[in-house]
Structure 1
Amino acid sequence: MAETTWQVVADELRHLYAGPTAEQFALADTLMIPLAADTPTPVTAALLRAQLTKPLRLREYPGIDDPEYDYLASVAAETSLRIPAIEEIGSRNLLDAWLEVAWARRTVHHLERLQPEVGDVAVTVRRRKPDEDRYGQISSISLTGQLNFRGGLGRRAWPHTVKRLVKMGDGDHGELLTKAREEAVAEDRHPERVSNRELALLDTWKVPRRPSLADCQAFQEALDKATAERPMQVVLENHPALLANVIAGHHGIWVRSQVRLGDRYVPDFLIASQTSEGLRWHLVELESPTARLTNVGDHRESPTLRHAIDQIQDWREWLKTNLLSARAALPGITVDARGLIIMGREDVTDSAREIRDRRDANDRISIRTYDWLLRAAMKAETTLPGLLDTETGDLSRDW
């Protein structure tokens, strides 16, 4: 379990060294064992257990050695905790109880020193590179007192290891927050391996079937009339199977429209597909069906196509600096998510084969026409889904 308020965690830890519980006092009276009112709860439990070891045939704990006691003494000294002499402790069971108390007091001391809040950035020392700082944005606080960092994957730190805590109102919070997010992303070696809980975030947009005749007819009618991008956006929002059909995803495909990336960007569609290798995303930009892919005179990329390519590159740049927050709504998305541009009609005077091949190979951006999308949908009953993957060679191993 985890909390978002450090005072709650500190109060829970204080109970460990506040003295015996009422139940412990009652048991001690029954066994006629004297208990001091300031005996920490874990220590009391160890003392009671020691009294019951032989009658209940419990496992006996071995004695302790000097290095073990020295470690306890060093932790206890950090908060001026008075501990018994090594001879009085005797068994490892009692040593462990005193360690639990010493850790709790140290943790409470540093929680009070730092007063950490969700959103603060903690600066700690790297385990294997003590000369380098490590950054983490606090997402919650475990009941043990550990500070949990955004990004998961076991990213956390004990309060006593924090060199500096940067509050959200501090001047350099933004700079260090960026570093924390970059580190979280860098440490995630397999972002495509998302959990069932993360997948559940996409349930609303899951596409359960292939395109139907009704999907194809609605798309054809919109395409015949459209002179701008908007009608095509609407028909694809109403018939998402048309887009889902061109991506391979044996374990599920999801289509989301008009997803906001920060305050500046809104991709027309995002497609997620899951294979045995995990989740992958496509960034989809629509342009008008009347737009040309190439210039009439020189057959280079038209201004409309150039704009569409720039859009996808802008989205990727945004993801580079906001990837961790983006994954909260788009689990598993990466900065190099494949791009898909759909624009124009098939036209022998508008051949863009060389441009498409180059963009596919160099930029992972596929450029296709609306006629291509309709043709893929009309063949849905006779071909496997994933035409785009087949054409680009971007197939998962389970295909």
Structure 2
Amino acid sequence: MTDARDALKAEMEMLRTNYLALLDKEEKEQVYQKYLEENTRLIPRDFVQNHGVSFDIVLRKPAFGADYKSDFFFLSKSTVLWHAVHIEIEKPASKYFKDSTNEFHPDFLHAQQQINDWRAWLDRSNEGAFRSAVSALMVPLATNPIEHKYVLVYGRRSEYEGNDIRRSKVAALVKSSGIKIQSFDSLAEGLAGKNPVNIGIRKNEYIDVIGDEFLKSEGCAWIEPTQFRLSQSAKDKLMNMDGGGPYMKSMRTVGGRSVDSYKYVGENVRVRSDKEPVIDEA
């Protein structure tokens, strides 16, 4: 057990070091989007409730309505409600303040306005359309109420951490807007406490789950398999689970009879070739 902890600690320190070095290069936003998708412990987990991220799936660039697309999105439930967490990332080089002043930079204000536009769309009686778009991830307790939460990942901490006025202005904005604002640096904190997740891409009829393993295998007790597409490797792993090792035996009722959850999903899920590309930036 000690060896495993030491190995995890070394792995997280390496990830942290490489990530912070990448921030210093001030690349385009797309570079950081891709890096977070490949190193999912870095994705924010704000507003996660006691049941965690729903099915351990974070959607990339889901579209809600004609004009609303966040960079990442996930659902998290308690026994009484869902948190729908919308995450927008800009880039590490983005500025909070104008030059040497304590006045907010127009780019920072624009990023907040973009989130306010999303909020307005969701407030315009669009809950039915929203629920339909994410229904595959809203089980069980699908009828529970939804609270929408917003996270903006923006700039570097060094721009305000040594300035009490700037720091207090950012804190006041967080309090008044209800938007969780955090620097790119903060994503490198607490990595060992953030489990890896699958990245998902929402299609018209299903969610494409990236990776060679369905990380939330216990979710097989609940999901409708035809609403998901897995890689061939991920399907094969489900088909070979027998309740031994780290996997608990899982059953579900189908057509009035009890069946193995893993095999049921494996037999009925959509499947793609391991070599088939999933992300299409076009």
Which position in structure 2 is the counterpart of 1:249?
Answer: 49
CA distance in 1, matches of 2:73, 2:103: 27
CA distance in 2, matches of 1:335, 1:314: 18
Which position in structure 2 is the counterpart of 1:365?
Answer: 179
Q: Scaled by the length of structure 1, what TM-score is found?
A: 0.38
- The answer on 1:300 being equivalent to 2:111 is no
Which position in structure 1 is the counterpart of 2:220?
Answer: none
Residues 357 and 319 (structure 1 numbering): CA distance in 2 closer, same or farther, change over 3 Å?
Answer: same
1:338 deviates by 2.0
The structure 2 residue matched to 1:345, chosen from 146, 150, 156, is 156
1:300 deviates by 2.0
1:334 deviates by 7.6
One-letter identity of the residue aligned with 1:239: N
- Aligned 8 A contact 2:83 2:147 in 1: no
- Aligned 8 A contact 1:290 1:345 in 2: yes
Which position in structure 2 is the counterpart of 1:280?
Answer: 83
1:220 deviates by 3.2
Matches within 5 A, 1:175-214: 213=12
1:342 deviates by 0.8
Matches within 5 A, 1:63-82: none
| Higher RCO, Cα 8 Å, sep 6+ | 2
Helix, strand or coil for the counterpart of 2:185?
helix
Helix, strand or coil for the counterpart of 2:74?
strand
Residues 338 and 355 (structure 1 numbering): CA distance in 2 closer, same or farther, change over 3 Å?
Answer: farther
Larger of the two Rg values belongs to structure: 1
One-letter identity of the residue aligned with 1:369: S
Which position in structure 2 is the counterpart of 1:227?
Answer: 27
Matches within 5 A, 1:44-123: none
- The answer on 1:325 being equivalent to 2:159 is no
One-letter identity of the residue aligned with 1:223: L
- Aligned 8 A contact 1:257 1:269 in 2: yes
Residues 218 and 259 (structure 1 numbering): CA distance in 2 closer, same or farther, change over 3 Å?
Answer: farther
Helix, strand or coil for the counterpart of 1:354?
helix
1:229 deviates by 1.3
- Aligned 8 A contact 2:83 2:146 in 1: no
Residues 361 and 346 (structure 1 numbering): CA distance in 2 closer, same or farther, change over 3 Å?
Answer: closer
CA distance in 2, matches of 1:314, 1:335: 18
The percent of aligned pairs where both chains have the same amino acid is 24
Q: Scaled by the length of structure 2, what TM-score is found?
A: 0.53
Which position in structure 2 is the counterpart of 1:263?
Answer: 66
Which position in structure 2 is the counterpart of 1:145?
Answer: none
1:369 deviates by 0.6
Helix, strand or coil for the counterpart of 1:325?
helix
- Aligned 8 A contact 2:81 2:147 in 1: no
CA distance in 1, matches of 2:159, 2:96: 11
Q: Deviations over 1:157-209 (max 9, x none)?
A: xxxxxxxxxxxxxxxxxxxxxxxxxxxxxxxxxxxxxxxxxxxxxxxxxxxxx
1:231 deviates by 0.9
Helix, strand or coil for the counterpart of 1:328?
helix
- Aligned 8 A contact 1:244 1:255 in 2: no
Residues 347 and 215 (structure 1 numbering): CA distance in 2 closer, same or farther, change over 3 Å?
Answer: closer
1:246 deviates by 4.5
Determine which structure has the larger helix proportion and give its number: 1
Aligned length: 173
- The answer on 1:376 being equivalent to 2:186 is no
- The answer on 1:312 being equivalent to 2:126 is no
CA distance in 1, matches of 2:119, 2:89: 17
CA distance in 1, matches of 2:114, 2:146: 14
Which position in structure 2 is the counterpart of 1:112?
Answer: none
Residues 234 and 284 (structure 1 numbering): CA distance in 2 closer, same or farther, change over 3 Å?
Answer: same
One-letter identity of the residue aligned with 2:154: M
1:359 deviates by 2.4
Which position in structure 1 is the counterpart of 2:267?
Answer: none
Which position in structure 1 is the counterpart of 2:170?
Answer: 356
Determine which structure has the larger strand proportion and give its number: 2
One-letter identity of the residue aligned with 1:375: E
Q: What RMSD, in angstroms, separates the aligned Cα atoms of the two structures?
A: 3.2
1:319 deviates by 1.1
1:304 deviates by 1.5
CA distance in 2, matches of 1:334, 1:358: 28
